């Protein structure tokens, strides 16, 4: 049973949005007996259908079987004997199919379904119709109208749901309003532009009943018939996806289809109101896991989720996601790498994932002499080099290369940059075209021209998505707040020490400094197990400061605490300054004074900006240490 269950979970993730059907299940009664065959088929059917399979095919109806013109008499897989007399397996199969997906009488928990909406009159009716078709014995539907001005409330009033009207405070605040009003043990959230499968709540509840997960999610699939643009957006990056640590354990479940135990949500204080449009689901998942709880995923707890149906709407959505990423990085800097990208421990599943460029091919597990029972391809994870064209920072380098190429008439070497620019642009276009070529659509256009247009639009969306995310991130970037004793400091390393007659634990000082830095709103990271620093504060894209603390115990509770802080330029800043300065010197030596001056000034501006950010970060670190009780002597 457990092996079949695990195998089905793996298959569900491999098939993606497509339904999974087991085309042949059964057991030989000649070798195992008719009673064991009946019990086995009952278990196989129930396991498959509770695991989310769309159907199963039992092999076979009768023991009478022919192959290659000869009677097969050395096995008996049939539900009936050769003379068509029923075996016990026939009754077992009939009963199992009659009770799927779950037998009657199961004590299901009460679930509160919360729909948060803001000017969602275009899709809210379809969502409420779907909630009315749910086949679940004990649930309530709550609609939180977050200050809509388009008549959404009038539509909601037509349905037997509980409507709560609130001022417009954003998505997280609306989710918290629904949480406070919920009477169920489980609180399930669905977006107003989505509608559930009739068995949505049943499969969510089954996951909660059989595990101790704090939250459970499921797939969100674009419905057919939304138009050409929506079809392309469904295959573009940036749509809600789930991140799985295993086939059934999740690291992240998207907000359009997520459910939580009410007690767990209340324990973490609900959703963070600073996330007004997006990012709230990522934040709440991380906070739950930070307290030791786990998240689950059920492939049959499905909702249909509409994609944006215009390029403009898609652009605005991705810009909003970029702003949310900036907020998340500010709150969870330890979840992001040095270049500002989130580092998931699990694997991302869903449509629209961008294809990374690489020359390493996957490998097929076939066993010795091809005897492995389940042969599958193991895909290699993309390396950093192959993933560069899908990073937003890649799009920053293209204009920089264009500016360098513009210096070609003033100095011959920058003309070579034009070739690099063409190559870099070609890499981005190739990556987008590759992603579009691998896209799957729910319908096939009648003509080749229409099919090419669809692929071209999908490729274009792959190109603009990182740029939109970058716009959003930069528009909500971090700038250290002035005041509260914070002063800009010269960007150089410094050390100081304090004497304490009554010492305290070193961790308390660092924890206090960390709390002060986080209260300033900037990205703060803690040093890892092998790092020779304790805290890092970033003041922008180019500059940061690090802090190291050491304590000397002098007996009788006395303590000497030493601090050292130093600036740290990002690799991006160092690369731009070094390369720009080198090109400037080369131009000056060649007598191209104008090009040399332009390159030198550009490098100097980047260096000055980096120095300014480093000084701001050092000032913030010194301020935090003072506030934490480590005042400089």
Q: Model-level pTM?
A: 0.81
Q: Which domain holds residue 522?
A: 494-627
Q: Is residue 437 part of a domain?
A: no
**Same domain for 584 and 609?**
yes
**Same domain for 132 and 182?**
yes
**Same domain for 180 and 296?**
yes
Of 298, 332, 349, the last residue of a domain is 349
Q: Is residue 594 part of a domain?
A: yes
Of 99, 121, 144, the last residue of a domain is 99
**Same domain for 525 and 546?**
yes
Q: Is residue 81 part of a domain?
A: yes
Around Cβ 538, how many Cβ atoms within 10 Å? 27
**Same domain for 214 and 236?**
yes
Q: Is residue 267 part of a domain?
A: yes
Q: For residue 60, is the peptide bond before it cis, meaning its omega torsion is within 30 degrees of 0?
A: yes
pLDDT digits (tens, 9 = 90+) for 265-301: 999 999 999 999 999 999 999 999 999 999 999 999 9
Residue 79: per-residue pLDDT: 95
* Domain harbouring 202, CATH code: 3.90.550.10
Residue 210 structure tokens: 């059989």
Q: Is residue 449 part of a domain?
A: no
pLDDT of 530 > 60? The answer is yes
**Same domain for 35 and 83?**
yes
Residue 190: per-residue pLDDT: 97
pLDDT of 532 > 60? The answer is yes
Q: Rounded to 10 degrees, what is the CA torsion of 624, 628, 629, 632?
A: -10
**Same domain for 148 and 55?**
no
Helices and strands, number each (H, E), in the chain: 19, 24
pLDDT digits (tens, 9 = 90+) for 618-630: 999 988 888 776 5
CA-based end-to-end distance of the chain: 68
**Same domain for 168 and 253?**
yes
Of 66, 99, 132, the last residue of a domain is 99
Number of domains in the chain: 3
* Residue that is written with structure tokens 């250290």 in the block: 480
pLDDT digits (tens, 9 = 90+) for 577-612: 888 888 788 878 877 788 788 888 888 998 998 899
**Same domain for 69 and 140?**
no
Q: Is residue 522 part of a domain?
A: yes
Residue 485: per-residue pLDDT: 42
**Same domain for 322 and 188?**
yes
Task: Compute CA distances 546 → 55, 509, 535, 620, whole Å.
Answer: 58, 15, 6, 11
pLDDT digits (tens, 9 = 90+) for 546-585: 999 998 888 888 888 899 999 998 877 888 888 888 878 8
pLDDT digits (tens, 9 = 90+) for 341-369: 777 888 888 776 766 665 555 566 666 77
Q: Is residue 499 part of a domain?
A: yes
**Same domain for 84 and 121?**
no
**Same domain for 208 and 254?**
yes
Q: Is residue 18 part of a domain?
A: yes
């Amino acid at each position: 049973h457990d092996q079949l269950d695990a195998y089905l979970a793996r298959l569900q993730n491999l098939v993606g949005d497509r339904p999974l059907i087991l085309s042949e299940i059964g057991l030989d009664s000649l070798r195992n007996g008719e009673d064991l065959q009946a019990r086995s088929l009952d278990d196989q059917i129930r396991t498959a259908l509770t695991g989310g399979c769309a159907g199963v095919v039992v092999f076979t109806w009768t023991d009478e079987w022919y192959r290659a013109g000869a009677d097969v008499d050395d096995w008996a897989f049939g539900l009936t004997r050769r003379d068509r007399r029923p075996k016990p397996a026939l009754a077992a199969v009939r009963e199992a199919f009659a009770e799927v997906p779950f037998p009657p009488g199961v004590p299901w928990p009460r679930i509160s379904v919360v729909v948060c909406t803001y000017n969602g009159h275009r899709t809210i009716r379809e969502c409420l119709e779907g909630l009315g078709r749910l086949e679940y014995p004990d649930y309530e539907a709550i609609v939180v109208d977050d200050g809509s001005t388009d008549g959404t409330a009038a539509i909601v009033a037509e349905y037997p749901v509980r409507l709560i009207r609130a001022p417009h405070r954003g998505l997280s605040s609306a989710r918290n309003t629904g949480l406070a009003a919920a009477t169920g043990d489980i609180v399930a959230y669905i977006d107003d532009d989505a509608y559930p499968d009739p068995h949505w709540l049943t499969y969510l509840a089954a996951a909660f009943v059989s595990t101790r997960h704090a939250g459970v999610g499921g797939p969100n699939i674009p419905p057919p018939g939304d138009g050409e643009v929506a079809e392309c957006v469904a295959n573009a990056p940036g749509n809600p996806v789930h991140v799985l640590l295993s086939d059934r354990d999740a690291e992240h479940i998207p907000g359009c289809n997520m459910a939580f135990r009410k007690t767990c949500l209340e324990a973490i204080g609900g959703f963070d109101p600073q996330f007004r449009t997006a990012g709230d689901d990522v934040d709440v998942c991380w906070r739950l896991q930070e307290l030791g709880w786990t998240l689950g995923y059920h492939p049959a707890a499905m909702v249909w989720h509409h994609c944006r149906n215009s390029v403009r709407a898609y652009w605005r959505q991705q810009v909003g996601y970029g702003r949310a990423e900036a907020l998340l990085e500010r709150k969870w800097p330890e979840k992001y790498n040095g270049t500002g990208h989130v580092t998931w421990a699990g694997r991302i599943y869903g449509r629209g994932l961008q294809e990374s460029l690489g020359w390493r091919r996957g490998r097929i597990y076939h066993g010795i002499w091809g005897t492995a029972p389940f042969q599958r391809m193991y895909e290699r994870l993309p390396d950093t080099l192959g993933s560069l064209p899908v990073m937003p920072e890649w799009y920053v380098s293209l204009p920089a290369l264009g500016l360098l190429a513009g210096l070609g008439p003033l100095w011959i070497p920058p003309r070579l940059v034009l070739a690099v620019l063409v190559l870099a642009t070609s890499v981005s276009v190739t990556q987008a075209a590759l992603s579009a070529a691998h896209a799957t659509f729910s319908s096939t256009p009648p003509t080749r021209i229409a099919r090419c247009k669809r692929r071209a639009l999908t490729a274009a969306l792959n190109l603009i998505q990182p740029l939109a995310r970058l716009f959003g991130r930069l528009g909500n970037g971090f700038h250290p707040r002035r005041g509260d004793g914070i002063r800009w400091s010269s960007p150089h390393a410094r050390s100081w020490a304090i004497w304490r007659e009554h010492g305290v634990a070193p961790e308390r000082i660092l924890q206090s400094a960390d709390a002060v830095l986080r209260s300033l709103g900037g990205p703060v990271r803690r040093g890892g197990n092998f790092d020779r620093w304790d805290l890092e504060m970033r003041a922008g894209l180019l500059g940061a400061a690090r802090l190291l603390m050491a304590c000397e115990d002098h007996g009788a509770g006395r303590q000497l605490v030493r601090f050292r802080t130093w600036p740290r330029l990002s690799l991006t800043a160092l690369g731009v300054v070094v390369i720009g300065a080198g090109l400037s010197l080369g131009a000056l030596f060649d007598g191209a004074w104008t090009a040399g001056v332009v390159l030198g000034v550009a490098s100097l501006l980047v260096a000055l900006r980096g120095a300014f950010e480093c000084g701001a970060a050092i000032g913030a670190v010194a301020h935090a240490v003072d506030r934490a009780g480590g005042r400089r002597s």
